[in-house]
Structure formats: structure tokens, C-alpha cells
Structure 1
């Protein structure tokens, strides 16, 4: 699937029928060859938006996966950079790709840090958390940051209802709901559970001051609005 180096259809099915942690352990060796890996265009646009706000001290990639976020943390941060994830397999790949970074295995809903970082980023991870789990995630990131620290992540605008992507993503979420209703352990991955207004409310409740900037390099929708925004949540 996806490319000759990517996972087979059978491997993807086995992953989808596993828990989130086990699924990513299985997918880790081929994850870089799937569309699930954050595209470099998104990473570069995020770096361009953050660069004027830096330089930063220590950096943290929340739900780091195989370490793609190090592409931007390394040049933006003058101090130690750290990745945290709960998948052993993903962290093993990240360590091989970025041996100079620090890697921590932990459930990000209970981050083991306090006042340690100046910048935290996250890419493509919010869909793995149910809405009721976001407050604990954001509270943990808040604790992990130093005063005036920044939590940044891109969030994509939903496609219009007339778009084929709208119905494809809705269909995916419905399939996942049925899968999780009839199969255990659950595999939490949804595309429609983290709209910007809900994420902003949860960040504000955690204590952040929230702004957004458009990532115009990633294009605009038909109505002229940006396809993607960078959420900037600052610990004040």
C-alpha cells in the first residue's frame, strides 16, 4: 500500500484491529512510507510561522512518533529537544533517526514533566484522543512548559460538505465507531472530533492564551479561508 516500501493491506488490517499502541508498534518500521507521516510541507510551514517567535530554549514533541517533528525543533531550539510517545516501536525508529535527541516513553495524558520546556509541538495526534481526554492532555502540556512557554500545532480546516473529502472522512469516522463498538481493544483515530472552536475552548480551560495564524503556504479553500492554521497556545 502507498509505496513499495509501505505496509501491505494485510498489515494495515492487522494494525487497525489492534490497540492504538500495538498498532503503531507494528506500523513503525514502515511508517515513514505512509501518508500518516506529517508531510514536510506542513512541518516547513509550521517552522516558518514559529521562527519569528524564537529562538526557543528546550523543545518537546508531543506524540512524536518516528520523530518527524525534530525537523523543526532542532533549528528552532537552542537547548535539549525531547520526543515523547507511548509506542515502543515508534520511539525505536525515532532514536535511530535522531540519536542526539532525548526520547521518553509515556502516556501523554499524564506527561512526566514540570516546567521543563519553552516550546512544545505536536503533529497529527489530536485524532487519537476522544474529546473527553483532551483536557488531561492539554493540562499536561501546560505543566510541562515554563512560564511564557508556547504549545503549537497545525489544525486543518474541515473540507466543505460538497467535497468528496468531507464524505470520505465522515465515512472513515463512522467505520471506526462501528469497529470500536464491536471489537476490543479500541483503536481511537477520528478526523472529526477536534474542530478548532472545541480545541480552543479546551486550551483556554487549561490556562492557555490562544491565538492562531494562517499557514498560507498550504493553500486556501474556495471561500478564501486558509486550509490550515497554526494554533499558538501560550502559558501565561
Structure 2
């Protein structure tokens, strides 16, 4: 996702402003009819690179697109999964668009904080562009929910872009966006949680390991390199480790 701006044939500035002053759920219900024509929709290049990186670990059985929106991520699941393909989101408007685009998938309304699936229901969970909707304090419970949904040895995968270098225009742009959102949420209700700087790689790796995952990183070379040769984007692949006694007890506890 990128900082809000109008796109050709997409939502107007006024429509984006109304969304930003709504709750997260209602805001996405409003945006759903035009969502795929905004910069928020995950680019096909990112989806294709993710599928390529996942193929050596498959084929997988059942796959879930977490916070699926209009369902773009299920394109990856259909390429690498041989079983059930499902998407979960809390926006009825986004799910309606997803059903229109891919009626063969299972579209489920639900919260990421309380996933409505049986333990071990999926072999692969992917997520695209939803990270900013989760505050750091929510990460442990989110990862515990995903881990409980995965089968033994199952995987959670998501692309993660390298942060812009301090002092560059993109750095100041994201900093300004997050600052504006914090001011908005301090003075306006309901809150709209969407931040760009709450998902640092080092912290997320640590939290995933603490939640019972082994974590590996896979460059996505199709998406380019930075000046120092490091990748602009990596795939984070978290593999479920066997249960520890305390994890088995606490996985469903907020």
C-alpha cells in the first residue's frame, strides 16, 4: 500500500477523505467498488514474485488469504495450492467484490484477531498490504491466531518492502502520513488504524520466533534492488514449529 492519492478512474479525493474519517471496516466498505483502481491494491508484480518464491516449498494443500480485501492474493494461492482456497476479511463490501471476481473460492467474513477456522485448517497463509492495520501490541496475538490456524509445518508468508532511507522523500512522506494518522486518531472517533512504520523487519522476525515460527527471508529480485545491492522487497516465510506446552494453552487467548 502507498500513501493515499487519487488514481485514474479510482476514488476521488473527497471519497478518500470520507473513508479516512470512517472506521476501518466502514471505510473499506465505502472504498470497495473502486479499490482495485487505487494504489492500495497489491500490484501484480508483487503477487507474481511471491508465487515464484513459494513454489519450491509447495505444492501446498489448503491456503488462506488473511485480510484478503477484494481477493487479489488468492491469485497466489491458486498457483501454489492444490486444495481449498479461502479469503477472510471483516469488510462485507470488499468480500462482495472478491466473490464477484472469484466465486470458486471460499470468502469468509471474520476478524484477524479471532479467525473463524478450525485448528490446522490451512497449510499456507498469505497476507498482502494489511500490516499497517495492526498496532505493535497486537502482533503477538495476531501471530498466535495464524499459528493455530496452520497445520503442522505450515507457513505464513508475506512480502515486506525495505524501508526508505532516512532523509529521502519517501522517508519523509511515510513519516508525515503516520504523524497525520496519529493526530487524526487523537481527535476523531472512530479511529482508523493504518500506519506504515509499525512493521519493522527486525521486530517482526523476533515476534514471529517468539510465537513459535522459524523465519527465513527470500529476496524478490523481480522487484529491484537498492543502491547498495540489497533487495527492495523480501518474502518473509514463517514456518510453524512444533507446539510448546505454553503455546498450546495460550494460542486462543487474547
Normalization by structure 2: what TM-score?
A: 0.91
TM superposition shift of 1:162: 3.0
Answering whether residue 79 of structure 2 is matched by residue 75 of structure 1, we say yes
SS in 1 for 2:147: helix
Displacement, 1:221?
A: 1.0
Quote the Cα distance in structure 2 between the aligned partners of 1:186 and 1:69.
26
Which residue of structure 2 lines up, in the alignment, with residue 54 of structure 1? 58
Instruction: Write the distance in 2 (CA, Å) between the matches of 1:7 and 1:67.
Output: 19
2:48 to 40, 44, 49: 44
User: Quick one: distance in 1 between partners of 2:187 and 2:216?
Assistant: 40
Would you say the 8 A contact 1:58–1:119 is kept in 2? Answer: yes
| Residue aligned with 2:113, SS | helix
Aligned equivalents of 1:111, 1:94: Cα separation in 2 = 18
- Which residue of 2 is the match for residue 212 of structure 1? 217
The residue number in structure 1 matching 2:120 is 115
Q: What corresponds to 2:204 in structure 1?
A: 199
The question of 1:8 aligning with 2:15 is answered no
Corresponding residue to 2:234 among 209, 218, 229: 229
Instruction: Report how many residues are paired.
Output: 235
Structure 2: how far apart are the matches of 1:215 and 1:81?
24
Partner in structure 1 of residue 137 of structure 2? 132
Alpha carbons 1:150, 1:233 under 8 Å: kept: yes
Q: SS of the residue aligned with 2:234?
A: strand
Counterpart among 93, 100, 114 of residue 97 in structure 2: 93
The corresponding residue for 2:246 is: none
Q: SS of the counterpart of 2:154?
A: strand
In the TM superposition, 1:145-184 aligns within 5 A as 145-184=150-189
For structure 1, the residue ranges without an aligned partner over 5 or more in a row are none
Deviation at 1:177, TM superposition (A): 0.4
What is the SS of the residue equivalent to 1:60?
A: strand
Aligned to 2:247: none
- Return the alpha-carbon distance in structure 2 between the equivalents of residues 19 and 202 of structure 1: 27
Say whether 1:142 aligns with 2:147.
yes
Following TM superposition, where does structure 1 have runs of at least 4 consecutive aligned residues deviating by more than 3 angstroms? none
| RMSD, aligned CA | 0.7
Q: Where does structure 2 lack aligned partners over 5 or more consecutive residues?
A: 1-5, 242-254
**Any conservation in 2 of the 1:110–1:136 contact (CA below 8 Å)?**
no
- Rounded to whole Å, the distance in 1 between the matches of 2:183 and 2:100 is 37
CA distance in 2, matches of 1:134, 1:125: 12
State how far apart, in whole Å, the 2-side matches of 1:112 and 1:180 are: 29
1:177-202 CA deviation, whole Å, 9 max, x = no partner? 00000000000000001100111111
